[in-house]
């Protein structure tokens, strides 16, 4: 059963783009968006949708013995701001350095009959409504035609890609198995059984966002009445953003259900409910129990009066959710009011600018009209010659340019020759100056030698032949050395000097020896430290090699164990003919309470505690 969302008059007036588009127009625009994303992903590029997230790739290596295959699988990364604001959860994917381009509204407008503003407004308002619906923790999904389905379920976000899209992206033939055979994550593709499965009647309750128009308010549309039996067996989620603002959560028993995928790009909010056929399921041995119970448990269940203590808790939760919805609604109202004020201010500014432009244009037109009204003394000659051809002028201009280039080249060559000539002259001048200086030095040297020779010749000529008689023949030096006291004093001084010299030599020898010993000790310590560091480095290197070898052995052992486990699973699968343990146990019906056979009429199992 399909239930429509009640949208307030304020939202209907402010979603201006969606109110002017029909369902077919919205589907067409989103099909264009999906085509753009698909085209970019075929070119190995990511696409960023503003306010929603990014479609990109994640690289994965498949080791095949001596070689490996690089697989790029498509992923969807939700915007970090949305995850923090609404509390959405998503398995963190490590995106590679794939180039990401934003959603090009101009290209979408060129490929469709709509304007760019309409395309952008449709995408943004649809994303806004999608997030508004997903923030209430409902099961929401949005279809990207040809790509996959974006699902919001219990605050978890995921994209299930179509098998055709995955096979079109796959160039190795391993992408489908890589997306399905991942034990650490859930499946990322829609299986063929789920895509081709016919819709089951009365098993889901969906909420579809209708076309927003400016006609009769949606509040006046009659709601579909539920029968009393369906209201007792099913729990549907109905949202009224203006009057009720109620949000009835799903119970733990109602969360498992089936989802039908729409062909178009409309936003569908799915809430799971029990079907009438599920209520009428009966066991094979008795027809009145209504569930898989034996006779004893069925009689006890009929005699027991159920007492539900979760009503107050459910009411409190509903009240809290109602308050939260009111708070969110107030925030949205403030946001829309702020946007309206900004638009009004921009409109006033643009109106002022337009009035100013009109005044300037009017002044220019008046000026031109006044200028045209004046008559000029110009004449028109009937025999005016024709305008000459531009080709001769261009040739003349080209010749002048070539002459200018030749003249510049000639001037440059002349300047180079002049510079070389100046350098040669400067070198010759330096050579002459050096030779002149050397000749002057030699001349001065010869002159000095002549002067010394003349002085020596003059001394030789003036030298006396004998000693002058004015000096006495008595000794002049050493007259006081023959005194014993003086000789003793000289001897004592000589001994002291000798002792000082010996002591100085010994001290210098000791210092040199001590210095050499210290240097030897320091060198020994340096060698010991270097030897210790070298041993530590060798130990560290050996330990690192040992750890790497142990890690490799552990990885090899783990890979071998996984391979043996897969081989054993395949062998067991072939041995049992494709029937798992759950399929084999399905043949034997047991009571859900006492675990006895459903045909039991009083026998108690010895492995199960008795019920009072």
Tokens of 439: 């000749």
pLDDT score at 265: 41
476 part of a folded domain: no
The answer to whether the beta carbons of residues 163 and 195 sit under 8 Å apart is yes
What domain range is 547 assigned to? 500-564
Q: Residues 6 or more apart from 389 whose CB is under 8 A from it?
A: none
CA–CA gap between residue 126 and residue 188 (Å, rounded)? 24
| Residue 89, strand partner residues | 156
The answer to whether the beta carbons of residues 190 and 148 sit under 8 Å apart is yes
Q: Distances from the Cα of 130 to the Cαs of 19, 143, 313, 555, in angstroms?
A: 16, 11, 29, 45
359 part of a folded domain: no
601 part of a folded domain: no
Overall number of domains in the chain: 2
pLDDT score at 93: 67
DSSP 3-state assignment of 547? helix
The residues of the chain scoring below 70 in pLDDT are 1-14, 64-66, 92-96, 170-292, 305-309, 371-382, 463-482, 576-587, 592, 600, 602-612
Say if strands 53-64 and 67-78 run parallel, antiparallel, or are unpaired. Answer: antiparallel
φ, ψ for residue 359, nearest 5 deg = -65, -45
| Residue 101, strand partner residues | 47
Residue with tokens 């035609």: 145
337 part of a folded domain: no
CA–CA gap between residue 569 and residue 575 (Å, rounded)? 10
CA–CA gap between residue 547 and residue 538 (Å, rounded)? 14
CA–CA gap between residue 143 and residue 265 (Å, rounded)? 5
pLDDT score at 591: 75
pLDDT score at 538: 94
453 part of a folded domain: no
The answer to whether the beta carbons of residues 13 and 66 sit under 8 Å apart is no
332 part of a folded domain: no
Query: Alpha-carbon Rg of the chain, whole angstroms?
Result: 52
The answer to whether the beta carbons of residues 570 and 272 sit under 8 Å apart is no
Last residue of a domain, one of 241, 262, 280: 280
586 part of a folded domain: no
Instruction: Please state the pTM of the whole predicted model.
Output: 0.34
pLDDT score at 142: 86
Last residue of a domain, one of 564, 582, 598: 564
The answer to whether the beta carbons of residues 45 and 99 sit under 8 Å apart is yes
How far is CA 259 from its chain centroid?
A: 32
Q: Residues 6 or more apart from 208 whose CB is under 8 A from it?
A: 2, 4, 5, 266, 267, 268, 269
φ, ψ for residue 342, nearest 5 deg = -65, -45
CA–CA gap between residue 169 and residue 147 (Å, rounded)? 11
pLDDT score at 548: 94
**What single string gives the DSSP state of each residue in 269-320?**
EEEE---HHHHT---SS-SSSSSS--HHHHHHHHH-------HHHHHHHHHH
The answer to whether the beta carbons of residues 598 and 588 sit under 8 Å apart is no
480 part of a folded domain: no
CA–CA gap between residue 393 and residue 396 (Å, rounded)? 5
What per-residue string of b and e applies to 30-40 under the rule 16 or more CB within 10 Å gives b?
A: bbbbbbbbbeb
pLDDT score at 444: 94
Residue with tokens 């000789």: 487
DSSP state of 66: T
pLDDT score at 175: 52
Alpha carbon dihedral 447, 449, 455, 458, in 10-degree steps, equals -100
Say if strands 148-153 and 139-144 run parallel, antiparallel, or are unpaired. Answer: antiparallel
Say if strands 204-208 and 2-4 run parallel, antiparallel, or are unpaired. Answer: parallel
Residues comprising the chain, all counted: 612
Residue with tokens 């699973």: 569
How far is CA 158 from its chain centroid?
A: 19
DSSP 3-state assignment of 464? coil
pLDDT score at 240: 36
φ, ψ for residue 64, nearest 5 deg = -120, 60
CA–CA gap between residue 395 and residue 391 (Å, rounded)? 6
DSSP state of 589: -
Q: How far apart are the first and last CA of the chain?
A: 42
The answer to whether the beta carbons of residues 595 and 609 sit under 8 Å apart is no
CA–CA gap between residue 110 and residue 135 (Å, rounded)? 34
Last residue of a domain, one of 564, 582, 607: 564
């Amino acid at each position: 059963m399909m239930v429509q969302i009640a949208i307030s008059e304020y939202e209907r007036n402010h979603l201006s783009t969606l109110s002017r588009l029909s369902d077919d127009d919205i589907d067409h625009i989103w099909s264009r968006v999906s085509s753009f994303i698909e085209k970019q992903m075929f070119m190995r590029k990511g696409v960023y949708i503003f306010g929603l997230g990014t479609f990109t790739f994640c690289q994965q290596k498949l080791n095949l013995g001596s070689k490996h295959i690089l697989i790029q699988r498509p992923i969807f990364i939700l915007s970090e701001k949305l995850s923090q604001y609404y509390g959405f959860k998503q398995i963190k994917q490590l995106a590679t350095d794939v180039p990401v381009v934003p959603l090009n509204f101009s290209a979408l407008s060129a490929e469709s009959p709509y304007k760019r503003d309409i395309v952008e407004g449709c995408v943004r308002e649809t994303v806004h409504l999608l997030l508004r619906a997903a923030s209430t923790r409902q099961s929401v999904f949005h279809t990207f035609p040809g790509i996959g389905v974006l699902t919001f379920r219990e605050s978890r976000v995921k994209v299930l890609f179509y098998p055709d899209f995955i096979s079109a992206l796959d160039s190795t033939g391993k992408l489908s198995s890589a997306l399905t055979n991942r034990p650490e994550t859930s499946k990322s593709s829609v299986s063929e059984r789920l895509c081709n499965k016919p819709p089951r009647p009365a098993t889901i309750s969906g909420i579809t966002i209708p076309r927003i128009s400016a006609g009769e308010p949606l509040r006046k549309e009659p709601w579909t009445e539920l029968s009393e039996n369906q209201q007792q067996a099913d729990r549907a989620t109905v949202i009224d953003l203006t009057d009720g603002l109620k949000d009835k959560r799903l119970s733990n028993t109602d969360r498992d259900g089936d989802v039908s995928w729409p062909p178009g790009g409309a936003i569908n909010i799915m809430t799971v409910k029990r079907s009438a056929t599920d209520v009428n399921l009966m066991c094979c041995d008795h027809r009145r129990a209504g569930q898989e119970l034996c006779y004893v448990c069925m009689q006890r269940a009929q005699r027991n009066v159920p007492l539900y203590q979760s009503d107050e808790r459910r009411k409190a939760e509903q009240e809290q959710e109602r308050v939260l919805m009111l708070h969110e609604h107030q925030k949205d109202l403030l946001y829309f009011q702020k946007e309206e004020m900004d638009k009004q201010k921009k409109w006033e500014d643009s109106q002022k600018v337009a009035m100013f432009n009109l005044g300037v244009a009017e002044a220019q037109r008046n000026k031109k009209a006044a200028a045209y009204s004046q008559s000029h003394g110009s004449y028109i000659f009937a025999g005016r010659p024709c305008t000459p051809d531009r080709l001769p002028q261009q040739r003349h201009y080209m010749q002048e340019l070539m002459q200018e280039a030749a003249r510049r080249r000639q001037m440059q060559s002349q300047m180079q020759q002049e510079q070389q000539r100046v350098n040669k002259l400067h070198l010759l001048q330096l050579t002459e100056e050096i030779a002149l200086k050397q000749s002057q030095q030699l001349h001065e040297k010869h002159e000095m030698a002549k002067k010394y020779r003349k002085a020596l010749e003059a001394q030789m000529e003036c030298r006396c032949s004998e000693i002058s008689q004015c000096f006495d023949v008595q000794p002049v030096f050493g007259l006081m050395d023959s005194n014993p006291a003086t000789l003793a004093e000289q001897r004592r001084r000589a001994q002291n000097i000798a002792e000082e010299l010996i002591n100085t030599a010994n001290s210098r020898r000791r210092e040199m020896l001590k210095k050499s010993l210290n240097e030897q000790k320091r060198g020994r310590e340096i060698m010991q430290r270097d030897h210790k560091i070298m041993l530590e480095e060798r130990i560290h290197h050996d330990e690192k090699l040992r750890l790497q070898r142990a890690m490799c052995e552990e990885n090899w052992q783990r890979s071998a164990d996984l391979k043996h486990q897969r081989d054993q699973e395949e062998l067991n699968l072939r041995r049992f003919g494709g029937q798992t343990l759950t399929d084999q146990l399905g043949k034997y019906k047991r009571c859900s309470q006492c675990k006895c056979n459903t045909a039991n009429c009083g026998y108690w199992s010895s492995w199960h505690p008795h019920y009072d």
